Chains A and B, each alone.
Chain A
Amino acid sequence: AQSVAQPEDQVNVAEGNPLTVKCTYSVSGNPYLFWYVQYPNRGLQFLLKYITGDNLVKGSYGFEAEFNKSQTSFHLKKPSALVSDSALYFCAVRGTTSGTYKYIFGTGTRLKVLA
C-alpha cells in the first residue's frame, strides 16, 4: 500500500539557519513526489515536485528537496530560513503504477522559524 510518513509534528529553527523537513514514502513503482505549504486558513500551495531525472529538485521560495531512492526519502530543505517560512508543510506521493490519480499525503509538519 502507498504511504507517506512525516516523522516530525513540528520543527523549530532559528532564522538564518538551514532547515530540513523530513519525508519518507512507500510506493510500488516509480514515485512521483511533492511538497506543499499551507499558511493559516489557506489552501495548499505547490512548492516542488520530483518526477524523474536529477535527484535534487528546486522549487519556489528558495526551497529544494532531495530524492533518495535507497532510503525512500524526499526531505525538504532550505539553506537559510526566514520567519515568513513558518507554516504547515505536507509531503505527498502518487504511485505511477496506479490506474487512477490518487495522491497520498503525510500528516504535515509545522515549521516554526524563530527570529
Chain B
Amino acid sequence: DVKVTQSSRYLVKRTGEKVFLECVQDMDHENMFWYRQDPGLGLRLIYFSYDVKMKEKGDIPEGYSVSREKKERFSLILESASTNQTSMYLCASLGIYEQYFGPGTRLTVT
C-alpha cells in the first residue's frame, strides 16, 4: 500500500512565525501536491512538484513556498504565518491516475 505521511497532525503557531510542513511518500512517485482544505471551499491547490527541485504554482500560492530536495519529500513553508492561513493542509502524491493523501495537518495560527 502507498503510504503518505505528514510530520504533524496538529500544529499551533503564532502570527509571524516561519512554519514547515513536511510530507513523505514511499512509492517513488514523481508528482506531489499541497492543498489546503476549508469548509465550503473544498480542496484548493497551493503548489505541486513534478520532479526533484521542480515546482509549479497552484491556485493559491501567495504566502507559501515549497521545497523538493529529494523525491520522497515535499515540504510546504509558510514564510510568515498569518491567521488567515489557519486551515487543514493535505499532501498528496500521484500514482498512475489517482492521488494518495496523507492524514492532514490541522494548523492554527494565533
* A and B assemble together: yes
Interface of A toward B, CB cutoff 8 Å: 9, 32, 34, 36, 41-46, 49, 51, 90, 94, 100-103, 105-108
Selected from A9, A43, A100, the residue in CB contact (under 8 A) with B103 is A43
- A30 vs chain B, min Cβ distance (A): 13
Selected from A9, A49, A90, A102, the residue in CB contact (under 8 A) with B48 is A102
Q: Does B24 contact A (CB under 8 A)?
A: no
Chain B residues in 8 Å Cβ range of A45: 101
Chain B residues in 8 Å Cβ range of A100: 48, 50, 56
- B59 vs chain A, min Cβ distance (A): 9
Contact between A102 and B101, CB atoms less than 8 A apart: no
Interface of chain B residues 73 through 110 with chain A (CB within 8 A) = 90, 92, 94, 97-104, 106
Selected from A32, A41, A94, A102, the residue in CB contact (under 8 A) with B106 is A41
Interface size on B, residues (CB 8 A): 26
Interface SS of chain B: strand
Which listed segment binds A: B14-22, B35-43, B64-72? B35-43
Interface SS of chain A: loop
Complex-state Cα separation, A101 to B43, whole angstroms: 15
Chain A residues in 8 Å Cβ range of B33: 103
Contact between B103 and A107, CB atoms less than 8 A apart: no
Chain A residues in 8 Å Cβ range of B35: 105
Contact between A105 and B43, CB atoms less than 8 A apart: yes
Contact between A107 and B97, CB atoms less than 8 A apart: no
Chain B residues in 8 Å Cβ range of A51: 97
Contact between A43 and B48, CB atoms less than 8 A apart: no
Q: What is the chain B residue whose CB lies nearest that of A106?
A: B42
**Besides the known contacts A32-B97, A46-B99, A49-B98, 4 further A-B residue pairs in the complex with CB atoms under 8 A apart:** A34-B98, A46-B98, A100-B56, A102-B45
Q: Does B61 contact A (CB under 8 A)?
A: no
Chain B residues in 8 Å Cβ range of A9: 40
- State whether A44 and B101 are in contact (beta carbons under 8 Å apart), knowing that A101-B48, A102-B48, A108-B42 are contacts in the complex: yes
